[in-house]
Amino acid sequence: MTTIGVDFDVPLHAYSRGWADGTIYDEPTPGGFDALRQLMADHAVFVFTARDTYQTALWLKGHGFDVQLDAAGSDGIWPKFWNTRDRILVTDRKLPAVAYIDDRGIRWTSWPQALADLETSLLLFDRDEQLRALRAAQDPFISSEQYLQALHDARRCAELERELEAAKFEIRHLRAGESDQPAPEGVAPTPEQWIHWWNRATPDERTTMVNQIFASAATAATCFEMNHRWSLERLDRLTNALRILDQVPSIAARAMFITEAHENLGLGASFETVLAYAAARVILTETTPSASAPSESSR
């Protein structure tokens, strides 16, 4: 069973004169009761209000709803949940629910968004209250059409101010971390100066820069891959040479093969070249009957 909370003023009670003296004075909001019955068909519904809950319950009952007044039980404990679908609970408490329908509610997704929405709601509230005051005074210079148009204009203005604040926030977000000054000509920019340039570059300049970054990244990846492949091949050659030398049973014989390689190649030869030469001599000694391994007597 899912529970829905519905605010009383505006969603159900028209609230054309605002809070007034706190009593329930107005007609039902058009469409409010139909929506309330539709909700009750699928959910448990409670109505929450800052007004007197007894008066609110009587008002709803007078319009044909089965209501229950929120109260503590015989044990003195107040109910924590509302799960009855065919009856409306009237309360001044905020009970658990999957959703709350409220004309002044602010949906929270982040604090910057919530504070921006709150500022817009406060502007809208002040203007609505001013228009209600004019309406209540029955100003002879304001017709119903003018009142509705003024209300529409006030809400549209509030929407535009909200969009403006959102745009300002987005600009602050985009410029976060940038330097106050661009990099001097011919000097590599710092990350902060690079962000400064990017935020002021034209679309064509940005496209050119991104293409250059992609090209540089591709070149770097190719160089890394080639160097990596060469390193693996060199490691394979060294491993094979060492494996061949390891087949020589005598440590002294291995040393003589390597010494011979140094003498024939010169002291400037690389370690890899010396090992390869020594390994080749081992293979030649094993496969050529006339060839012999170097020995102290022959040297």
What whole-number distance in Å separates Cα of residue 73 and Cα of residue 222? 77
| Same domain as 168, residue 208 | no
Q: Do the domain assignments include residue 48?
A: yes
Q: Give whole-number Cα distances, 157 to 12, 120, 133, 150, in Å.
A: 26, 10, 19, 10
How many domains does the structure of the chain reveal? 3
Length of the chain: 299
Q: Single out the residue in 83, 101, 119 at which a domain terminates.
A: 101
pLDDT of residue 81: 96
Q: Check residue 150 and give its pLDDT.
A: 65
Same domain assignment for residues 48 and 124: no
Range of the domain at 225: 203-287
Average pLDDT of each block of 10 consecutive residues along the chain (299 residues)?
Answer: 95 88 92 96 96 96 96 92 96 96 89 84 71 59 61 72 81 78 80 83 87 84 75 80 82 82 78 80 69 51
Same domain for 76 and 34: yes
pLDDT of amino acid 80: 94
Domain end: 101, 135, 154, which one? 101
- Within this chain, do residues 34 and 121 fall inside the same structural domain, yes or no? no
Interatomic CA distance for residues 247 and 154, integer angstroms = 94
Say what the pLDDT of residue 182 is.
Answer: 78
pTM exceeding 0.95: no
Model pLDDT, residue 130:
66
197 located within any domain: no
Residue 297 is predicted with a pLDDT of: 47
> Is residue 292 within 8 Å of 285, Cβ to Cβ?
yes
183 within a domain of the structure (yes/no) = no
Judge if 27 and 91 occupy the same domain. Answer: yes
pLDDT at 128: 67
Residue ending a domain, among 61, 79, 101, is 101
**Residue 85 falls inside a structural domain:** yes
